[in-house]
Structure 1
Amino acid sequence: FMGANTYIGNAPNFMVFAIARHRGFKMPGFFGYMAWSGAVLIPTFLIAGYLFFR
């Protein structure tokens, strides 16, 4: 059941990705997304962990 939820939840992301690429925007690949998400989420999680679990 949860696999279906995550698949349905990702459908809008794939749609935006496909539309943007079709219109000529350069979109990052998997590792590009991983780099961007890591650069944002890792410091965010570290700060949240420090604030809430110290």
Structure 2
Amino acid sequence: INNTSLTGDSQKRNRVQVSNTKKPLCYYVNLSKRYMQQFNEVKPSALGM
């Protein structure tokens, strides 16, 4: 998955990098739901929007 940041840092583990051209919105919504279950927090991040 290229659109998410899954580095070793605990701060960046729950960040979803959103793109309006790569994947449909429902992909990011479902990904965020999974992150909420794992980390209880999601940080959406969008560049150039």
Under a length normalisation based on structure 2, what TM-score does the superposition of the two structures give?
0.37
Larger Rg computed on CA atoms: 1
Which structure features the higher share of strand residues?
2
Under a length normalisation based on structure 1, what TM-score does the superposition of the two structures give?
0.34
Higher RCO (CA 8 Å, separation ≥ 6 residues) = 2
Which structure features the higher share of helix residues?
1
